[in-house]
Chain A
Amino acid sequence: DAGITQSPRHKVTETGTPVTLRCHQTENHRYMYWYRQDPGHGLRLIHYSYGVKDTDKGEVSDGYSVSRSKTEDFLLTLESATSSQTSVYFCAISSGRGGDTQYFGPGTRLTVL
């Protein structure tokens, strides 16, 4: 998985609670991405980062925030989890933008009850 770890790998939480997912890379890649994967929807971009403290919104960013204080770590926070955020979350990294290969982590399965 190209030196990418995600934690936790599985999480069950209740509606209204805050949740933070962590992505850690050892590749020193500049770009990091958060996607969610849902049946029938493929993968959809939530947020991405193009450097330390530099982030931007993706297609489905509502209800999510991100932070990147170090090159190797990219955090995804659900401020107040809802059942519609039950999904599998994937982190990806890339050395360049757009047409450079994105390498995906193993994923975090989040269930919001």
Chain B
Amino acid sequence: QQQVKQSPQSLIVQKGGISIINCAYENTAFDYFPWYQQFPGKGPALLIAIRPDVSEKKEGRFTISFNKSAKQFSLHIMDSQPGDSATYFCAASGEGTGGGADGLTFGKGTHLIIQP
């Protein structure tokens, strides 16, 4: 049972464009939604996170949009740069979720390539 569905699997964007990655969740017990960035050979690193009491959060070129009623959230990368090329994971957590262990439930990831 996949509780967090992420799309697309891969994405190619031109330098300077907007990259958009979408996630949908099923479990209404989720109350924390982080995005992680992972470079080859490295561990995931937190990029930005949101809680359901706000509909949008912006940090620099990265924005999370959150739609509680639709149970969807998305990552927007403005002015995408070649250095943004990485794999991005959405995730969710909440009390009693994550297999009952409060760990993060991850989407399957999006491989983003920014073409110069």
Task: List residues of chain A with CB under 8 Å of any chain B CB.
Answer: 1, 4, 33, 35, 40-45, 47-48, 56-61, 90, 92, 97-99, 101-107
Contacts and interface: CB of A to CB of B under 8 A. Distances in A.
A76 B25 CA distance: 29
Nearest to A38: B108
Contacts of B61: none
Interface of B: 6, 31-32, 34, 36, 41-46, 49, 51, 89, 93-95, 98-109
A31 to B, nearest CB: 8
Given A45-B101, A98-B95, 11 more contacts: A35-B104, A42-B89, A43-B89, A45-B99, A56-B100, A58-B99, A59-B98, A98-B31, A98-B102, A99-B32, A106-B42
B6 to A, nearest CB: 8
A40 B94 CA distance: 23
A101 B34 contact: yes
Contacts of B6: 42
23 contacts: A1-B43, A42-B6, A43-B44, A43-B89, A45-B103, A45-B105, A48-B101, A48-B102, A48-B103, A59-B98, A59-B99, A59-B101, A60-B99, A61-B99, A98-B32, A98-B95, A99-B31, A101-B34, A101-B49, A102-B34, A102-B46, A104-B45, A107-B42
